Amino acid sequence: MSGSLRDQLLKSGLVDEKKAKAIDQSKRKKAKQKPKKQARGVDESRERHQQQQAEKAQRDRELNRRRQEETQRRAIVAQIKQLIEENRLPKRDGEIAFNFADGQKVKRLYVNEQVHQQLTNGQAAIAKLHGQYDIVPRPVAEKIRERDESCLILCNEPGKDDDDPYADFPVPDDLMW
Q: What is the C-alpha separation between 138 and 147, in angstroms, rounded?
A: 15
Mean pLDDT, rounded, for 32-61: 81
* CA–CA dist 38, 41 (Å, integer): 5
The CB-side HSE value for 66 (13 A sphere, CA atoms) comes to 6
CA 141, CA 77: separation in Å to the nearest integer? 14
**pLDDT for res 159:** 63
82/10: higher pLDDT: 82
Buried residues in 87-102 as b, exposed as e (16+ CB within 10 A): bbbeeeeeebebeeee
Confidence of residue 1 (pLDDT cuts 50, 70, 90): very low
pLDDT over threshold 90, residue 37 = no
- pTM to 2 decimals? 0.58
Contact 96, 116 (CB under 8 A): yes
Instruction: Write the CA distances from 131 to 30, 42, 108, 172, integer angstroms.
Output: 78, 60, 14, 38
What mean pLDDT value characterizes the chain?
A: 83
| Residue-level pLDDT at 41 | 62
Q: Which amino acid is at 166?
A: Y
- 98-132 pLDDT, tens digit per residue, is 898 888 889 888 888 888 888 888 889 999 888 88
